Homo-oligomer: A and B are copies of this chain.
Amino acid sequence: MTETGDGAGTVAVLGAGAMGSALATPLRAAGWEVRLWGTAYDEHLLDACAAGQPHPRTGVPVPAGVRLYRSDEFAEALHGVDTVVLSTSSAGVVDTTAAATPYLTGVRALLLTSKGFAANAEGRVGPLHKAVQATIQAQGWEPVPVIVVGGPCLATEVAAGRPTAAVFGCADRALAQRYATRMGTDVYRAHATEDETGVELCSSLKNVYAIALGITDGLSKGGHQPSDNLKGAVFARAVTEMVFLVEALGGEASTAYGLAGAGDLEVTGMSGRNKIYGSRVGAGQAPTTALAEMAAAEQTVEGVPAARLAKRLVDQRLEGAWPRLPLLRTMIGLVDGKATVSDVVAAALPRL
């Protein structure tokens, strides 16, 4: 006999951008009833989905059977679901959570694909899943467990059904494992861990370190001199610093050298805006100019605000840690124009 609710259920995915729509592919394949809700900014995305066209952000149509909900159909989207996936922009997560709270009766878990560190009203930096939990409790509702979703998961490939290994992090590891099983398919698999903070920290920091990997690519292209050895050194330094930070915050080293850290960094360092930004800088463009040009083209570089939040996090919580974080410290300086590419090279190499 199967325990009630251990098979597929009904899920509301809040946010119809790249990752939200992409998850519809494995969720439908695993037998879930999927409701995809779009914010007011997602109207054109839902239009494409409703017309059976490829989703503009993933290039893949959402699978058959996905129900689409417009921004004003929020209550309908959430009615009677047992699971919610939060996939809006990181900036919108807390507001979306606050709006959803009255509808969470019967919801057994919130999965959080938007992630990163966020500052609370007092300016104290913490992981986004804590802000989600605090938002629910501030309204006087019972807490709902949050599962942080990390790992090397480009949305385009998840949508296309390419092999993907995610990480589900939740203090209630058994719950994370249950969801890994309920949502898993032949090609979408999740590793369950209780280290929710480590998953979220790595998901955020890998964007910062991907800029450094991009810089080594830019050095190769700009100076016509290969810098693969340096890329290896940067990669090792990045993983070593993530291990240190995760452990210092009470998490597990294996999160940082596994899927959420090294795995996600590998993918993020291959493509994407953080890497492109770094590559411009490595090829000789001033960091502030590169960022301004990309901003003008509406290309957000997530690693830049992530670097600044990381600085506040370390300053607030990890006294004396900076000597163990030479690359992170240098990247923070770089995005604010206070460190150079040469400083990045020096930070990646062992000291004499």
Q: Using CB atoms and an 8 Å cutoff, list the residues of chain A in contact with chain B.
A: 151-154, 156-158, 160, 162-165, 180-181, 184, 187, 189-191, 225-233, 235-236, 239-240, 243, 253-254, 256-259, 261-264, 266-267, 270-271, 345, 348-352
Contact = CB atoms under 8 A, between A and B. Distances in A.
30 contacts: A152-B228, A152-B231, A152-B232, A152-B235, A160-B225, A162-B225, A162-B230, A163-B230, A163-B233, A163-B348, A164-B233, A165-B230, A165-B232, A180-B352, A189-B350, A190-B350, A228-B267, A231-B267, A231-B270, A232-B263, A232-B264, A232-B266, A235-B263, A236-B259, A236-B261, A236-B262, A239-B262, A240-B257, A262-B262, A266-B266
Chain A contact surface mostly: helix
A266 B236 contact: yes
A243 B352 CA distance: 26
A157 B229 contact: yes
A351 B181 CA distance: 9
Contact of A162 (B191, B229, B271, B348): B229
When all copies of this chain in the complex are counted, the total is 2
A270 B228 contact: yes
Given A231-B267, A231-B270, A236-B266, A165 B349 contact: yes
A351 B236 contact: no
A156 B231 contact: no
A229 B158 contact: yes
